[in-house]
Chain A
Amino acid sequence: MICDNAELILSVKDLTANVDGTQILKGLNLEIKAGEVHAIMGPNGSGKSTFSKILAGHPAYEVTGGEIIFRGQNLLELEPEERARSGIFLAFQYPLEIPGVSNLDFLRVSYNAKRKHEGLEEMDAFDFDDLVHEKLGLLKMDAEFLDRGVNEGFSGGEKKRNEILQMALLEPSLGILDEIDSGLDIDALRIVASGVNALSNENNAMLLVTHYQRLLDYITPDYVHVMANGRILETGTKELALELEAKGYDWILEGAAA
């Protein structure tokens, strides 16, 4: 929801970035305020996944210019773990499997890292167990998931639900969902989307990065941005997504070239 006088959560100005010497982002600008849901759409190779990884601090990407201010802080000065503790959350397109580390232990270590950062005491195993069981219901996940290795042997849908479970526990100010809908069947998509909707409130913001308009039938964005060739070319409302679905991306790319 768009609110008047809402806090500015994220401000990106003229961002340029390289990976392996190739420029991927070529002057990206974006502002996100508390309470808002933004969607970035774009063809393959437009740089949208790169952008989400840069926000989270992936070491493979080199920022060459511009700035990212997150709640008044220069994000580029922070290590990935400091960004996470300050309230950035990236739901991965391909969540990694970590056999040997139980999902429950992983969630607790992660949760307590954030509590410590906020000057709070670490939560003990019993209280955490209660908390995590409460959140499981939101994602219609079985408690059995907690005892398994992190994402180990999970189906595609289970991995994505596990990402949203982590987001539910960490309560970020900015949730970045990188192709959270890709590879999901319609039932799993509904569960994931209702989880995201339940977590969205006036104090946080969501950034959806997606290839498909279908996700936006379940999570309604306040703004839709079209990204191509490392820049945001067009910004509109959810109607823009429908137009893209009907007409494809070419008209925007041609408009930009003209």
Chain B
Amino acid sequence: MTIEVSTSTDSILTNPEVGTAKVSTNKLSTKVDRAAYLGNLLSLRSTVDNLPWLQELRDQAAAIVQELAIPSTREEDWRFTDLSALVAHTWQQPDPAIDLKACDSIVLPEAGCRLVFMNGVFKSHLSKLEDLPAGVFVGNLAQLPSDRLAAVQAALGHQTGAEEVFTALNTASLTDAAIVCIPRNVAVEKPIHLVFLSRTAGTTTIAQPRCLVLAETGSAVTLVEEYSSADAPGTYFTNAVTEVVVGDNAQVNHTRIQWENQQAFHIGKTAVSQGRDARYTCTAISLGGQVSRHHFEVYSQGEQTHSQLMGLTIVDGDRTADTHSLIAFSKPYCTATQVNKCIADGKAHGVFNGRIYVPKLAQQTDASQMSRNLLLSSKARIDTKPQLEIVADNVKCAHGATVSQLEDDEVFYLQSRGIGADAARKLLTFAFATEIINQIPVASLRQSLTQMMRDRQAAS
């Protein structure tokens, strides 16, 4: 029997010198009835007339939503992420007249095709749906060929965790979705680019984009999923859900970039299921939003799956950025690697909660999880909680967490080579982030993110 558990950090870390990482006292907004508020959000949804199966899915989700409320910090899962600022706004449906003629900045040179949604609505004139291997479908629900409908119906909204409040709200409000279907044994060489833009034109709007990726047995695909703002500063709320089904022996390399503007609210769910021998790699970068949360769930459902989750959050000002993740195994011989990094500056608050669940059946699991956090100011704060739940008795699992400033020795090493202390700190911070950025398989995206880091550092 071998159980290896390193540096157990099930409790909250504290760093006495910089920042604080401790339990906050709840400051619950009592002014807003959070159940009624959620009901109002639900009532904003538009109707779908001609798709009975979709209406049924929506109704089931709506029934769940009606039992729930917007979570408060009293709930363990939302203890560190206060949604008071979200519920202080009254959200409305975006004006369908808001559009954009062109958007060159979203073009990814490496991508073969591009699917663009704005405020949750498919935009064919901004999309580019060519250059795809035979049998591959990329498009919205309306374009879906009838022979794909059964597969989409079977998968959409059926991932475990669909009853979570924001996921259920998204499903209940579903009118359209980005759909990617890769048939059996097809390898798509060029990345598929999924873009979800927000454009408010001065209104406070909610958009609930939805995405479903079906990678059938033996297929391979690279996805880039991006959330961003397409106009000047504006307050909007994105509640996004993406489901990815990785078939037996299929391979999905997924990059998720959230660069919403700094007034936005972003709540995103990525729910992944992996079949036998499936390989799923995700690099998730979170940069924007006054309050942002990415909820990441990976369900390994066959033997010998491999999952790699890399995360980078950069948060400053008085913003909050939260990453929640779950990797749930169910069969033996699976492996997973997770590295989640957060850089917090100003008075910002970074949150990480990562669970790895290894049930009795999942013998010989090899999983590691690392949460690494960098505090750049004395007022920034990080709460991190890596958790292993192991029932199986023959596994190799490790987890750990660090919250630190830049090491004096590292800064000194660079100084001793003639690099000034300030430049040395910037270089080391840059390096900390680059380790995750370099995992992204698309060169132009790595370059834009690297440039973004340099610009931010030059501005600070």
- Give the B-binding residues of A (Cβ under 8 A): 56-60, 79-81, 83-85, 89-90, 92, 95-96, 98-101, 106, 109-110, 113-114, 117, 149, 166, 170
Contact = CB atoms under 8 A, between A and B. Distances in A.
9 contacts: A56-B412, A59-B412, A92-B413, A95-B413, A98-B431, A100-B434, A110-B419, A149-B431, A166-B417
Contacts of B438: 100
A99 B428 CA distance: 9
Interface in B379-413: 408-410, 412-413
Contacts of A83: 416
6 A-B pairs with the lowest CB-CB distances in the bound complex, closest first: A100-B431, A100-B434, A80-B415, A113-B418, A84-B418, A110-B417
Interface in B403-460: 408-410, 412-421, 423-424, 427-428, 430-435, 438
Interface centre among B413, B417, B428 (most CB of A within 10 A): B417
Contact of A101 (B418, B420, B421, B434): B434
Contacts of A99: 431, 434-435
B420 to A, nearest CB: 5
A79 B421 contact: yes
A78 to B, nearest CB: 11
Interface centre among B412, B420, B421 (most CB of A within 10 A): B412
Contacts of A59: 408, 412
Interface size class of B (residues with CB under 8 A): 20 to 34
Nearest to A115: B418
A58 B414 CA distance: 11
Interface of B: 408-410, 412-421, 423-424, 427-428, 430-435, 438
Nearest to B428: A98
A100 B417 contact: no
Contacts of A113: 417-420
Nearest to A109: B419
A92 B417 CA distance: 11
Contacts of B414: 98, 106
A114 B413 contact: no
A170 B417 contact: yes
Nearest to B420: A81
A100 B432 contact: yes
A96 B408 CA distance: 11
B415 A84 contact: yes
A79 B410 CA distance: 15
Given A60-B408, A96-B409, A101-B427, A84 B434 contact: no
A84 B417 contact: yes
Given A99-B435, A100-B432, A101-B430, A110 B418 contact: yes
Given A79-B415, A90-B416, A106-B414, 9 more contacts: A57-B415, A57-B416, A80-B421, A96-B410, A99-B434, A100-B432, A101-B430, A110-B418, A117-B418
B246 to A, nearest CB: 29
Contacts of A100: 430-435, 438
B410 A170 contact: no
A149 B417 CA distance: 16
B418 A85 contact: yes
Contacts of B430: 100-101
B418 A114 contact: yes
Contacts of B412: 56-59, 80
Nearest to A176: B416
A81 B421 contact: yes
Contacts of A166: 417
A60 to B, nearest CB: 7
Nearest to B438: A100
A56 B414 CA distance: 11
Interface centre among A81, A85, A92, A101 (most CB of B within 10 A): A81
Nearest to B436: A100
Nearest to A107: B417
Given A59-B408, A98-B410, A81 B431 contact: no
Interface centre among A80, A92, A95, A117 (most CB of B within 10 A): A80
Contacts of A95: 413
B418 A170 contact: yes
A100 B450 CA distance: 11
B433 to A, nearest CB: 7
Nearest to B409: A96
Contacts of B433: 100
A99 B435 CA distance: 7
Nearest to B412: A58
A166 B428 CA distance: 18
Contacts of B428: 98, 101
A71 B428 CA distance: 32
A81 B434 contact: no
A32 B417 CA distance: 22
A81 B432 contact: no
A84 B432 contact: no
A81 B435 contact: no
Nearest to B427: A101
Nearest to A101: B431
A80 B409 CA distance: 12
A110 B419 CA distance: 6
Interface centre among A92, A98, A100, A110 (most CB of B within 10 A): A100
A80 B433 CA distance: 26
Contacts of A57: 412, 415-416
Nearest to B429: A100
A239 B279 CA distance: 63
Interface centre among B409, B413, B416, B438 (most CB of A within 10 A): B416
A58 B412 CA distance: 7
A58 B416 CA distance: 9
A89 B416 CA distance: 7
A101 B427 CA distance: 8
A49 B92 CA distance: 66
A113 B423 CA distance: 11
Contacts of A81: 415-416, 418-421, 424
A151 B67 CA distance: 56
A84 B412 CA distance: 11
A80 B412 CA distance: 7
A96 B418 CA distance: 15
B451 to A, nearest CB: 15
B337 to A, nearest CB: 16
Contact of B416 (A80, A101, A114): A80
